[in-house]
Amino acid sequence: MDNLTHREEVNLYEAIQKSFPKILIKDLTEHERICPVCNGLGMRIEDNVYGIKGDNSEAGRKYHFPYKHQALSFCQSCYNGVQRLCPYCGEPYKNQAYLHCDCEGQKKVDEEERIKKWNDKVSKAVPVDEKDVSTMLYCEEFDEYYATVDDFFDDYACNHEEDSEEDSDERPVRLWVTSVETISIDATNVIENACSDLHENAYERCDEGSLQKLLDDWCKEQTGTTTYYPCFKQYVEIDWSKYSEE
């Protein structure tokens, strides 16, 4: 080690005795355990390797990073020395910061929760007649928008019928009414941005009303910007008897 003045070793056992109490207390819940990786310390040894520019020692010629500053670092397999376990399979979560497992038990619970939320959403929604709808209709199962139920039937016949012909229960039963968003520009924001580098009273000297009228007229002339979003408050029931008659 020609470029190193000296190497020192820290007696980890003695250092821990001086720095920490003899006993660490862990109050565990039902789905927790002491981490078997760090044995409950919540820490692990990190090498922190490095090299020295121009190092002509045997180690420097043989390795790019032959030296190390070892230190204690947080254990990546637990949280504070404790592993939280999946209540369905009993295994520790792969990511202790994201308490979600890929086991079958977790998947079953997730599906039950999804169905519960779906049923709750449907129970609060109101069925309406298609003739009373002036917006696009949204099919959540296919993630598609349709102008009419007939358009939905056309798309179903072309792209989805073969996938669900063996099981009629897989057919969508409703199309959701959507809300409409069109392009709009707020004059206040435009003026505030334009006056940001001007004197403090510049904004008050601007005619906001006339600018808003110009912006509104410009927005009305734009085409192709109208956007629809499912609002999940109203839906049109799909009458499949009309599809079979076609």
Q: Is the pTM of this model over 0.75?
A: no
Strands 144-146 and 137-139: antiparallel
Domain end position, chosen among 70, 105, 140: 105
Domain end position, chosen among 46, 77, 105: 105
Average pLDDT, stretch 115-127? 93
* pLDDT tens digit sequence for 175-211: 999 999 999 999 999 999 999 999 999 999 999 999 9
Is residue 182 one of the residues assigned to a domain? yes
The boundaries of the domain holding residue 183 are: 124-244
Is residue 180 one of the residues assigned to a domain? yes
Paired with 228 in beta bridges are 180
How many domains does one find in the chain?
Answer: 2
Is residue 2 one of the residues assigned to a domain? no
DSSP characters over 189-222: HHHHHHTTTS-TTTGGGS-HHHHHHHHHHHHHH-
Residue at token pair 């008050």: 204
Average pLDDT, stretch 84-101? 94
- Residues 150 and 240 placed together within one structural domain of the fold: yes
